[in-house]
Amino acid sequence: MGGMNIPQNAKSVGVVGASGFTGAELLRVIDRHPALHAKVLQAASQAGERVADLYPSMAAAHRAATFSEFDVGHLDGLDVVFLGLPHEASMEIAPVLSDRVGHIVDLSAAFRLTDASQYPLYYGFDHDQPAALAAAVYGLPEFHRDELVSATLIATPGCYVTAAIIAVRPLVEQGLISTDTVIVDAASGVTGAGRKEDLAYAFTTVDQNFTAYGLLRHRHTPEMEQEIGTQVLFTPHLLPMSRGILATCYSTPANDEARSQEAVIETLQAKYAHEPFVEVVDGIPGTKATLGSNLVLVTGRYDERTDTIITISALDNLAKGASGGAVQALNVALGIDETSGLDRIGVAP
């Protein structure tokens, strides 16, 4: 596609919903991936438009490519299909593709929740694909690596959820914190809302503004509770920047052993010592350090005055929080180097 050289023995890839922000990030990752080749780019809303016209950053890699209409038949036989679609659309399409392509990597929430009864409550639709839901593997290698090996349907985690899991789940697994309630206070750049025309995400709304949204019943809440293993009070915020997530998480120590900064940091270090994309730091993580990379920075503190453990994580919501994390999980499923196509160094300064 375009003027690029196709890697030898590369897996053929289709991206459905390729014109969205996660689709564009996927194309950026796939372009430098040694084992993937973007062959089919479908985007109903932009069908017929040149990729380079919508995203000038793609001009060198996809100078002659255009987005095409959605057509299941044009996906037949592909090794990998990424779905960057609304939740209900992915729910309907994934089962249709299951016998026609090698691997499906879904970036919606259609297959993230193991409890189908949560979908009407948090997403507003009934989940009517129980077999696919049961077959899907949650795409966070740091905690589901074994299940991802040879997985054919991967449910890519939510961006906020990835940040929260990385920051909190090791403490739960080691019995350091109470599972009664964990507070996740997190903020995201505007690309977390997707590429849409909406006054809430317009420059004049977002610039020099900082606001909370989705109070009390945000749809990522059940996913966090499922994967962290605690009750969660989650409050998201919108940051006046393009990319990035910072999650500050508050939990209560379960015993005296947990009541020290050393215990918190050592628990995080023990969990992530051999993880290629998670780095435990002594300082305070910031989003810019992760920009454009698959890196997660995480740290922890214990506050003796309030008897509270604070863990903080930072990541790029489009990279590790979406498309980069999706490719990382796919790499595991394909049995290739998990770091293929992915950066561990953020774009800074």
Distance CA 265, CA 300 (A): 6
Q: How far is residue 210's CA from residue 110's CA, in Å, rounded to a whole number?
A: 29
Please answer whether residues 26 and 82 qualify as being in contact, where contact means their C-beta atoms are separated by less than 8 angstroms. Answer: yes
Distances (CA, A) of 317 to 42, 115, 194, 294, 314: 22, 25, 11, 9, 9
| Sign, CA torsion 22/26/27/32 | positive
Q: Quick check: 58 and 51 in contact, CB under 8 A?
A: yes
Single-letter amino acid, residue 124: G
| Rounded (10°) CA dihedral 127, 131, 134, 137 | -100
Query: Could you tell me where the beta strands, DSSP code E, fall in 117-244?
Result: 137-138, 153-155, 182-188, 211-212, 232-238
Residue closest to 70 by CA, chosen among 41, 37, 106, 101? 41
| Tokens standing for residue 310 | 């604070």
| Kind of pairing between the strands at 36-42 and 103-106 | unpaired
308: left (phi over 0), alpha (psi -120 to 50) or beta: beta
| Active-site residue, from 159, 182, 224, 239 | 159
HSE-CB for 53 with a 13 A CA cutoff: 9
Residues in the chain: 349
Active site residue 249: no
Q: Which two tokens stand for residue 155?
A: 């449910």
Q: Report how far residue 251's alpha carbon sits from residue 149's, in angstroms, rounded to the nearest whole number.
A: 32
Give the pair of three-digit tokens for residue 110.
């259609």
Q: How far apart are CA 256 and CA 212, in angstroms?
A: 34
Q: Active-site positions?
A: 159
